[in-house]
Structure 1
Amino acid sequence: MLKGDTVITELNRLVDAVEDSLSDGLDVARLAASLGTTEYHLRRMFSSLAGMPLSEYVRRRRMTRAATDVVAGDPILDVAVRYGYGSAEAFGRAFRSVHGTRPADVRRHGGPLRSQPQLRFRLTVEGSSAMDTRLTDRPALRLVGHATRVPLVHHGVNPHIQAHIASLPPSEHARLTSLGNGEPAGLLQVSADVDPDYTEGSELTYLHGVALDAATTPPDDLDVIEVPAGTWVVFRSSGPYPAALQETYAASATEWFPSNPWRLRPGPSIVAVLDRAEDFSTATTEVWMPVERA
């Protein structure tokens, strides 16, 4: 169960496993199962708390260790093979992407190097402000509306989503609102097919639409995301938009999940805008995340 100081312990075990497998690859699914959790949840918690995807951390640590071997004088092809690369050229490209220079230059000059220290997670006291949260069991529902593929943006307004919404005529917003008969209520911002590592720039499916109950047939001209029955955690927040919403996402990882016996399960995350300023500078929102017992 990933709970409280246990989540910190298990993430540190993940970091230790990365160190032990830099040369032969890490089976994250097997490790997650041994910890009593899921690969999906483990990757999401790591990326949220570390500020980078697990895959990026592994790449940086591998190239940090490889730089030590290069400086020590090991043949570059031997180092390449040691860390899973089939050629010195492929290794050189990966090395340069992290360190900004070629292995041969590092060997001659000893640097420059951009080392990634080994992470160590520690429990700190948070939660001095209460989070407005509830858990709800919901039957299957249909999310219907207008969908598009967009890159993931961690901070600020996502211009691709903004452009997608702006392309819809006002009459379509009114039509969608009149169609909605499920919960969450109102116009919804739905993110589906999100990379478990939550890598910035990775593609996701964004749907601007509403929720229908399972008995309602959606119009043929709308995109549909079918969502099975299950439990959801709902976080409510108010304040500057989208800053308050993004802070809520961050707090869910740093405060709520480590303190409660729930973990994320695959499925869309949903933002319901309950109220907003005319210029959308501030808003009251609910974030719905699919969860299961840890």
Structure 2
Amino acid sequence: MDWLDRMNNVLDYIEENLEEEIDYKQLAKIAYCSEFHFSRMFASISGISLSEYIRRRRLTLAAFELQKSDKRILEIANMYGYESADAFSRAFKKLHGIKPSECRQQGTQLKAFPKISFQLSIKGDTEMEYRIENLDFELRIIGKSNSVKTSRAFKTIPTIWSKAKKDGFMQELIDLSWENPKCSLEGILGVCGKEAAIMDEAFNYFTGVRYDGDAREGMETLIIPPATWAVFPNIVEAWKRLYAEWVPTSGYELANLPCMECYYGPGHKPRHELWVPIISK
């Protein structure tokens, strides 16, 4: 399968460049994947963040190097991307439980984190409902941007909305929402990635609403060009299954645009949807 081959090519590239600076944009290019989605896709299907995987592989190879060579610790630290022996020592001890200098003692127990490989397991026991929406017009969204750590996204984002409700910002968005909607994307929006790409450690979560009026004081404007979207009911469930189950078998690629969470008003079914930008292969 092309998708599987590309993801394993990414792992090969990482392995060949552990002694160099690894460019996440290049990884996304190898995977033929949007920069917006690559880090999140990697974490979803591997169970570990991209940066943590690279860190563990480097520290595994560093331990091998310490045991088999007489190179100075600082030289090995520099080889695997650490600018100081202290930073290397802290990271090494966090993974292996001992200092690098203790690694050279006979009988020392270490932890080896092997190179992973991706294999596709087709479950098929639970269907995923979705529809395709083609929006042939530009989306103008106004609101506010919030920095979110990727590893804490499922905890942080509800907190952002809770704060917006308490301080009146959510009601302000509701008051600005469309009276004459152009399409079914009408509700309070959470845009996952306002900048050019979602980085591995954090991303900007933009809370806002579609609005074509004059600029609003204290709010930013986000423009999303015309695009085709796969739309899934139930945001939490969709996020859990999107990258590992739907994308590999869908026949679509992810477009280089952010996903959008859409929260509808009372009485709407479904209550919320995940909008995912796609292009045909």
TM-score for both structures, normalised by structure 2:
0.81
Gaps of 5+ in 2: none
| Aligned CA distance change for structure 1 residues 7 and 89 (closer, same or farther; 3 Å) | same
* Equivalent residue number for residue 237 of structure 2: 247
C-alpha separation in 1, matches of 2:3 and 2:240: 16
Q: Percent identity?
A: 28
* Equivalent residue number for residue 164 of structure 1: 164
C-alpha separation in 1, matches of 2:96 and 2:226: 47
| Aligned CA distance change for structure 1 residues 143 and 77 (closer, same or farther; 3 Å) | same
Alpha-carbon distance, 1:275 to partner: 5.8
| Aligned CA distance change for structure 1 residues 44 and 171 (closer, same or farther; 3 Å) | closer
* Equivalent residue number for residue 142 of structure 1: 140
Kept after mapping to 1: 8 A contact 2:130/2:230? yes
The one-letter amino acid of 1:9's match is D
Kept after mapping to 2: 8 A contact 1:180/1:211? no
* Equivalent residue number for residue 276 of structure 2: 289
* Equivalent residue number for residue 196 of structure 1: 198
Deviation digits for residues 250-278 of structure 1, max 9, x if unmatched?
2111111101232223333221223669x
The number of equivalent residue pairs is 273
Q: How does 1:157-236 map to 2 (within 5 A)?
A: 158=157, 159-168=159-168, 171-177=171-177, 181-183=181-183, 184-193=185-194, 196-199=198-201, 202-207=202-207, 209-212=208-211, 216-221=212-217, 222-236=219-233
The one-letter amino acid of 2:116's match is L
Alpha-carbon distance, 1:196 to partner: 3.2
* Equivalent residue number for residue 70 of structure 1: 66
C-alpha separation in 2, matches of 1:39 and 1:51: 19
Alpha-carbon distance, 1:168 to partner: 1.4
| Aligned CA distance change for structure 1 residues 87 and 118 (closer, same or farther; 3 Å) | same
| Aligned CA distance change for structure 1 residues 233 and 283 (closer, same or farther; 3 Å) | closer
Q: Does 1:117 align with 2:114?
A: yes
TM-score for both structures, normalised by structure 1:
0.78
Q: Does 1:55 align with 2:42?
A: no
Deviation digits for residues 2-28 of structure 1, max 9, x if unmatched?
xxx322222112112222221124455
C-alpha separation in 2, matches of 1:71 and 1:196: 37
RMSD: 3.0
Q: Does 1:132 align with 2:129?
A: yes
| Aligned CA distance change for structure 1 residues 36 and 186 (closer, same or farther; 3 Å) | closer
